[in-house]
Copies of this chain bind each other. A is one copy, B any other.
Amino acid sequence: MTDVAPIEPTALIQEMGRRARAASAALALAPTATKATALRAAAQALRTHEAAVLAANREDMARGEANGLTGAMLDRLKLTPQRIEDIAAGLEAVAGLPDPVGEEIDRTRRPNGLVLSRVRVPLGVVGIIYESRPNVTADAGGLAMMAGNAAILRGGSEARASNGAIHVCLQQGLIQAGLPEDAIQLVPVSDRAAVGAMLGAAGLIDIIIPRGGKSLVARVQAEAKVPVLAHLDGIVHLYIDKAADPQMARDLALNAKMRRTGICGAMETLLIDRAFADSLPVLAAIADSGCELRGTDEVRAIEPRATPASAEDWDTEYLDAILSAKFVDGVDEAMTHIATHGSHHTDAIVTEDAATAERFLNQVDSAIVVWNASTQFADGGELGLGAEIGIATGRLHARGPVALEGLTTYKWLVKGTGQTRP
């Protein structure tokens, strides 16, 4: 697959946006079963066309290897029969989720007899800008569509053949369900100007969701004229309170850091009450696990394998087997550290003291605040949403993991019997 002939990106995105808006009107009224049919048919198309998807992916992989992509990037790009099956199963799982569209949020009757309700409706047109993982084409496009939205997808150039092949399957699903093909569109050019055109498409695109590395998210947040749901950093803290169960603290710290080090819910900084300075085995356990430990002098005195932490360490999301650690004087100093260095993503406390936990849960200003559990539960699936299109650390609209409900808004319905306002 080669790019189509050069098109002026702004004109291209405007035309795609107009088609998306038209499609979104049909999507907004589509019954749940129709949308689910489209997703299940798309899943089936992915299985049927597995060979074509794998062939397209081999083309991307060969070009990526020739272009010197790192091993981690190639791994994100690579599709296998298992990964294609996972994508298909993911579409089927979304098809089975409760449809938020049409849900009545509340209903009241006014003294004058007016009946008021707020009812969930789709957001409209969702733009998704992502990098090398081709599964996002199906995951994000499918989730946006299931919430009744039209989606405009702009994947990374390194995955363009794979994205195109997956997109064909999504469109087959839409056609089979009788929904407009334009409900899920893939930007056919991979130059960065198309991203700029999407970010400037206020009025055509209702929300932009970036999925990728920090430089992509930072660019989107800086340039977008369209509202953005995203998180830039996940500087995740675990605080071990003096009233923590030591064994639980050790287990949670190891899981929060080492289960997977590259996800946004992975712990990056460990804060330990100074009461534990002599007795807690957690630092040794972290070092034993193969994690690089960077700490204050106090930490290094207890765990000699730790190297000195610099000032930047407290503001760094490693996304790797590296942990910064320090001792604090109780929950207040921990919360001050989190307020100063955190990223409003996910922060946790380990304590058996319910009053201390309540203070932490109330005062820490993060999208997800955790008591006595691993920070790696910061995920839409784990938090019961069935899926996620991303995690938002902004304060407006949706916060934390965003799935179907976060991809909707609401309108007010006012039903009367001829009431005039006095």
Contacts and interface: CB of A to CB of B under 8 A. Distances in A.
Interface of A: 25, 28-29, 108, 110, 114, 116, 121, 123-124, 206-207, 227, 245, 248, 251-252, 254-255, 259, 339, 357, 361-363, 365-374, 376-377, 382-384, 394-397, 399-401, 409-421
Contact of A252 (B123, B255, B418): B418
Q: Which of A123, A384, A395, A416 neighbours the largest number of chain B CB atoms within 10 Å of its CB?
A: A395
A339 B24 CA distance: 13
A148 B245 CA distance: 34
Nearest to A416: B373
Contact of A369 (B377, B401, B413): B413
A12 to B, nearest CB: 23
Contacts of A373: 114, 414-420
Q: Which of A248, A394, A419 neighbours the largest number of chain B CB atoms within 10 Å of its CB?
A: A419
Q: How many copies does the complex hold?
A: 2
A410 B416 contact: no
Nearest to A265: B421
A372 B418 CA distance: 5
Contact of A396 (B357, B396, B413): B396
Contacts of A254: 420
Given A255-B421, A414-B369, A414-B383, A377 B114 contact: yes
A412 B400 contact: yes
Contacts of A114: 373, 377
A383 B363 contact: no
A370 B418 CA distance: 11
A376 B421 contact: yes
Contacts of A419: 372-374, 377
Contacts of A418: 245, 248, 251-252, 372-373
Contact of A110 (B206, B357, B384, B412): B384
Contacts of A110: 382, 384
Contacts of A255: 420-421
Contacts of A121: 365
A185 B413 CA distance: 36
A400 B365 CA distance: 27
A366 B411 contact: yes
16 contacts: A25-B363, A25-B365, A121-B365, A206-B395, A367-B411, A368-B411, A368-B414, A369-B412, A370-B414, A371-B413, A371-B415, A371-B416, A376-B421, A383-B412, A383-B414, A396-B409
B371 A414 contact: yes
Given A384-B108, A384-B116, A370 B416 contact: yes
Contacts of A366: 411
A148 B248 CA distance: 35
A420 B396 CA distance: 30
Contact of A362 (B29, B248, B370, B394): B29
A248 B396 CA distance: 40
Contacts of A252: 418, 420
Contacts of A370: 413-416
Contacts of A29: 362-363
Contact of A382 (B374, B411, B421): B421
A394 to B, nearest CB: 8
Contacts of A401: 412
A328 to B, nearest CB: 18
Contacts of A421: 255, 259, 374, 376-377, 382
A251 B116 CA distance: 21
Contacts of A377: 114, 414, 416, 419, 421
The 3 closest A-B pairs by CB, nearest first: A373-B416, A255-B420, A248-B418
Contacts of A362: 29
Contact of A412 (B227, B399, B414): B399
